[in-house]
Amino acid sequence: MKKVDFTVEELKSRVSNKYAAAIVIANRAKAIRENPADVDEQYRKQKPTVTALKEFINDKVKYPEFNLDRINIGD
């Protein structure tokens, strides 16, 4: 199994708050678990959380439906 290499700074470069990134990744993992057909063929054998994290790092996850201003309180 391959390790996913990332840093908190990489997450914060895409979203201003690491907690917001965690919420976005968790919601994507839930969507993958509920509908595995949405995932690229190369990621199907990986766990949904790993797949969601890789998609987030590669800018494949879109998150306009999340109210990030509400999440960004107190960071």
pLDDT in tens, 18-65: 788 888 889 989 998 898 887 877 777 888 888 888 888 888 887 765
Residue 14, helix vs strand vs coil: helix
Q: What is the pLDDT of residue 69?
A: 60
Residues in the chain: 75
* 6 conformational bin, left if phi > 0, alpha if psi -120 to 50, beta if neither: beta
Q: What is the pLDDT of residue 71?
A: 54
> What is the pLDDT, as a whole number, of residue 12?
72
pTM across the whole model: 0.71
Give residue 68's pLDDT: 56
Which one-letter amino acid corresponds to residue 14?
R
